[in-house]
Each structure stands twice: as C-alpha cells, then as structure tokens.
Amino acid sequence: MSAVKMTEGRVSLDCGGEPLFYRQAEPADRAARLSVLLLHGIRFSSENWLKIGTLETLAKASCRAVAIDLPGLGNSKGAVAPAAVGELAPGDFLKQVLEALKLSPAVVISPSLSGMYSLPLLFQHGSLVRAYIPVAPICTEKFTAEQYRSVQTPALIVYGDQDTQLGEVSLNNLKNLANHKVVVMKGAGHPCYLDNPEEWHRAVLDFMETL
C-alpha cells in the first residue's frame, strides 16, 4: 500500500479569534491529484474522519485531504463562529480557510451543520470548489431552485435512507444543482458515513474518478 503522511496543525484567519485546528493526510511519496476539504456536523469533528479512515483513504487515492474543526467545536472551541448555528456564514470564511491552506480548488465534503459554511462558499466562490459532496446539510432551503440551477460545479449528493428529515429536505433542494449525482445509503441514518464507512468511501472515490 502507498505510504500516507499524517499531520496536524492550526490555521489563522483574518477574522481574529483562535486559529482553527486541522488534520491533514497526503501521499508521502508522490504529488496529490486533488485537494479535499472535509467539514463536519454539530456533534462531530475532524476526529471522525480520522477514525473511520476517510483521511487515509483519500490520501491513498492521491488526494491531499484536510479536515478542519469548525469554530466552537472539536479542537477549535476557542475560535469564534462567524454566524449563529443555522444562519448562513459569510462565503469568505471558507474562502480564507482554502487560501490559507493552499487547498483551492478543493472538493468540499459537507455534512449536516457545515452546510451553513459550504453553501455560501459554493454560491459566492464557486471557482474555489472543484466538486461538492453534501451529506444532508442544513440551510439548503435558504437558496432558490433557480440559484441551484445556476451552479455548474459537479456534485455528489449523499444521504442515508433512514434520515427522513434532513436527508429528504436537503435532497429536494440540492437536486436542482445542474450537474449532480445522488447516492442513497440503505439502512443508514443522518451521519450515514459512520454507519457504513466502506460504502461511503467507495461512493466518494468513484465520484472523484470522474473529475
């Protein structure tokens, strides 16, 4: 198997407050083909992507993968969130993260709570997003079908079929994206990637092969 280099660090943003914590995985012996930014839900952190092997899996697939802890959560508890939970954050917030980490254009993986960060980035700074992988994100109802249709970024919409609330609500909005595929994970709940990491990794890697 190819070697993977794992590191941790902190990234400072212009908005002040404590820097954000991140974990990074990249191929140890060759250049990365794609950059990936992994976000997380409200009860989770970058540690989940480490534990289920997503960071390592992406690095072995020639990706540079960075999982950040969002403000106020995980190891970024001292960082100040730019918006209240459920409100849209400024698109410039993740733009700064991508630029500080030299990650753009990046594939953005965005479950649940992180929709409040990733959707403004997608709509305001689409050129920084190589592809978008939303996993039942919040805030999808804050944009119109017409706005979604204007986005040409390739998207992979993933949700668990047991997630009857956010999974279905987000799908109904996100399916208006002009260039999307849908993966429904059978028997999986809201954090569907935790219920079946193997199926999750297969879906993500298959999609990335098309980029």
Rounded Cα–Cα distance for residues 48 and 23 (Å):
11
**Annotation marks residue 161 as catalytic:** no
**Annotation marks residue 163 as catalytic:** yes
Query: Cβ distance 98 to 37 under 8 Å?
Result: yes
Rounded Cα–Cα distance for residues 130 and 15 (Å):
25
Phi and psi, residue 182, nearest 5°: -125, 135
Rounded Cα–Cα distance for residues 126 and 108 (Å):
11
pLDDT of residue 14: 81
198 is in which domain, residue-wise? 4-209
**Annotation marks residue 201 as catalytic:** no
Rounded Cα–Cα distance for residues 92 and 124 (Å):
8
pLDDT of residue 16: 67
Q: Choose the catalytic residue: 46, 163, 180, 195.
A: 163
Q: Choose the catalytic residue: 112, 114, 118, 170.
A: 112
CATH number assigned to the domain comprising residue 180: 3.40.50.1820
Q: Choose the catalytic residue: 40, 46, 180, 190.
A: 190
**pLDDT over 70 at 1, yes or no:** no
**pLDDT over 60 at 73, yes or no:** yes
Query: pLDDT above 90 covers what percent of the chain?
Result: 95
Rounded Cα–Cα distance for residues 164 and 95 (Å):
31
What is the domain count for the chain?
Answer: 1
**pLDDT over 90 at 15, yes or no:** no
**Over residues 94-113, mean pLDDT:** 97
Rounded Cα–Cα distance for residues 21 and 166 (Å):
27
Q: Cα separations (Å) of 115 from 28, 41, 48, 89?
A: 31, 9, 17, 9
Q: Which of 171, 101, 109 has its CA nearest to residue 136?
A: 171
Query: pLDDT above 70 covers what percent of the chain?
Result: 99
**pLDDT over 90 at 2, yes or no:** no
**Over residues 149-160, mean pLDDT:** 98
Model pLDDT for residues 23-72, shown as the tens digit of each residue: 999 999 999 999 999 999 999 999 999 999 999 999 999 999 999 999 99
